[in-house]
């Protein structure tokens, strides 16, 4: 094994933590089913159980994930661009009766890509866990919050991502923060108590349009004196190659979103894999928007581009295609052990409640079996391309209109037409690149897309939308 490999550095960091007696480990708590099934059969029973009922196509309950109702007072405030506190949704008249006047909207701004949040099997899993265990033991995963339910979900996600292990985190944001801070800690640990010299630090190469959670994580690593941040132009592999070639630091990391949340374009995974072979860096991918949506088996963007083995650490969320809540990191067992000991956003957060974890586990299993949901999402992508002529490449559609005024006006008009489509503006995106962000779901139909595009054509000039990638600016 080469002494400059990441495997070696992680082993050395773990040895250092062990010598300092601060190497942390999980303390799993068993929550047996009320039916008292034998523990050795628990995994098989949970995965193969008839409780995980699946269906072969769109059902009425799926529409609950894309059809919403807004209280009329709230709706009017949105249309008039007046801030809403949310109080009006529970306001009552003189007789103590809550007004039942609502505006129905079709949701095109959520991230529930497969419509799993309303699936009966997901609901049943959450309800059953809540009935049997309440919210479960409440505490951090390192104290008392980690149970057999958490472990089952971790195993399921590790299998999905073709990784050795998985670590659950309270949110996707926390997962990215934990990974970035832990990567920076490697340099500090190997420096044995002194401040790392420049050549001993970790060089983190970050795509200019990476998610805020990645940016905040690498900023924190940099402020701790353990890392140096190098930003490369969005998806520009020539620029990244040049930066890597000119960097004298041995510990190199490249981190990128797999599917960019505001532009809807994919990271050049094949080119990243080729650069990894050439430069020997650690490749970290945030697959928040690709997990369960991309790849034949839902493994994500890396599976889609046949380079799962080239991704060292894959981060994801349970709040998008899974339709639940939480985050996760799939990686080697050594990386997981290091994350448990140095990932502050994991260590100092309460573990996810058991009903949420049970629901997420059910959702992942359903998503694997109901493959029609992934096909439906991509059929809606094709519908939008056909109806508008805009060559979108993912379920995230970024319609750049320019000024904040234009974007807000278009969003308000879409509300009047019955569509919930958000206007995205600074600081989320750079000035003068304000946009309508449309997201597609398996719960949408072709007729929904026809109505949506008809309404959009009355709000913005679709032929004038720039279909090319927006190059953006570094958000660091």
What are the tens digits of pLDDT across the range 430-443? 899 999 999 999 99
222 and 265 belong to one structural domain: yes
Q: What is the structure's pLDDT at 93?
A: 60
pLDDT band at 40 (very low <50, low <70, confident <90, very high): very low
pLDDT digits (tens, 9 = 90+) for 160-206: 999 999 999 999 999 999 999 999 999 999 998 889 999 999 999 99
The total number of structural domains in the chain stands at 2
Q: What is the structure's pLDDT at 243?
A: 98
314 and 266 belong to one structural domain: yes
pLDDT band at 78 (very low <50, low <70, confident <90, very high): confident
pTM: 0.91
Q: What's the CATH number where 434 sits?
A: 3.90.1150.10
Q: Is residue 289 a part of any domain in this protein?
A: yes
Domain that holds residue 263: 6-23+127-369
249 and 361 belong to one structural domain: yes
pLDDT band at 463 (very low <50, low <70, confident <90, very high): low
pLDDT digits (tens, 9 = 90+) for 212-246: 999 999 999 999 999 999 999 999 999 999 999 99
Q: What's the CATH number where 194 sits?
A: 3.40.640.10
Q: Is residue 359 a part of any domain in this protein?
A: yes
Complete DSSP assignment for 259-324: B-TTT--B--HHHHHHHHHHH-PEEEEE-TTTTTTSSTTS--HHHHTT-GGG-SEEEEESSSTT-S
199 and 250 belong to one structural domain: yes
345 and 391 belong to one structural domain: no
Which among 325, 340, 369 is the end of a domain? Answer: 369
Which among 352, 369, 386 is the end of a domain? Answer: 369
Which among 336, 369, 402 is the end of a domain? Answer: 369
Q: Which residue has the higher pLDDT, 466 or 82?
A: 82
What is the rounded CA–CA span in Å between residue 371 and residue 295? 10
Q: Is residue 254 a part of any domain in this protein?
A: yes
- Section 79-99 average pLDDT: 69
329 and 432 belong to one structural domain: no
Q: Is residue 33 a part of any domain in this protein?
A: no
Q: What is the structure's pLDDT at 294?
A: 98
Residue 306 has pLDDT above 50, yes or no: yes
Q: Is residue 74 a part of any domain in this protein?
A: no
202 and 250 belong to one structural domain: yes
Q: What is the structure's pLDDT at 83?
A: 81
């Amino acid at each position: 094994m080469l002494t400059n490999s990441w495997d070696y550095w992680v082993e050395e960091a773990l040895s250092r933590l062990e010598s300092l007696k601060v190497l942390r480990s999980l303390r799993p708590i068993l929550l047996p089913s009320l039916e008292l099934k034998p523990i050795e059969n628990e995994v098989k029973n949970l995965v193969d159980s008839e409780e995980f009922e699946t269906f072969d196509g769109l059902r009425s309950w799926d529409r609950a994930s894309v059809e919403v109702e807004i209280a009329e007072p709230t709706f009017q405030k949105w249309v008039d661009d007046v801030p809403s506190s949310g109080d009006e949704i529970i306001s009552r008249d003189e007789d103590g009766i809550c007004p039942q006047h609502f505006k129905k909207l079709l949701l095109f701004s959520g991230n529930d890509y497969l419509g799993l949040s309303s699936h009966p099997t997901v609901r049943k899993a959450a309800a059953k866990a809540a009935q049997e265990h309440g919210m479960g033991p409440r505490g951090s995963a390192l104290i008392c919050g980690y149970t057999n339910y958490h472990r089952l979900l971790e195993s399921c996600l590790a299998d999905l991502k073709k990784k050795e292990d998985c670590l659950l985190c309270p949110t996707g944001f926390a997962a990215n923060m934990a990974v970035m801070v832990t990567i920076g800690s490697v340099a500090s640990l190997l420096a044995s108590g002194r401040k790392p010299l420049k050549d001993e630090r970790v060089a983190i190469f970050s795509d200019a349009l990476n998610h805020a959670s990645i940016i905040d994580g690498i900023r924190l690593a940099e402020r701790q004196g353990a890392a140096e941040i190098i930003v490369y132009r969005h998806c520009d592999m020539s620029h990244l190659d040049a930066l890597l070639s000119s960097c004298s630091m041995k510990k190199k990391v490249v981190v990128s979103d797999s599917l960019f949340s505001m532009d809807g374009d994919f990271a050049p995974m094949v080119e990243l894999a080729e650069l990894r072979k050439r430069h020997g860096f650690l490749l970290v991918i945030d697959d928040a928007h690709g997990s369960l949506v991309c790849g034949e088996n839902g493994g994500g963007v890396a599976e889609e581009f046949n380079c799962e083995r080239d991704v060292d650490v894959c981060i994801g969320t349970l709040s998008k295609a899974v339709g639940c809540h939480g985050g996760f990191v799939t990686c080697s067992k050594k990386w997981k052990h290091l994350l448990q000991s140095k990932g502050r956003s994991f260590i100092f957060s309460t573990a996810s409640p058991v009903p949420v974890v049970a629901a997420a586990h059910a959702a992942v299993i359903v998503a694997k079996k109901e493959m029609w949901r992934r096909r439906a999402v991509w059929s809606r992508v094709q519908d939008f391309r056909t109806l508008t002529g805009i060559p979108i490449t993912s379920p995230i559609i970024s319609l750049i209109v320019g000024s904040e005024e234009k974007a807000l006006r278009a969003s308000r008009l879409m509300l009047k037409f019955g569509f919930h489509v958000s206007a995205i503006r600074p600081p989320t995106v750079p000035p003068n690149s304000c946009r309508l962000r449309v997201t597609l779901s398996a719960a949408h139909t072709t007729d929904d897309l026809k109505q949506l595009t008809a309404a959009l054509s009355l709000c913005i000039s679709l032929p004038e939308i720039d279909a090319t990638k927006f190059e953006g600016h570094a958000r660091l």
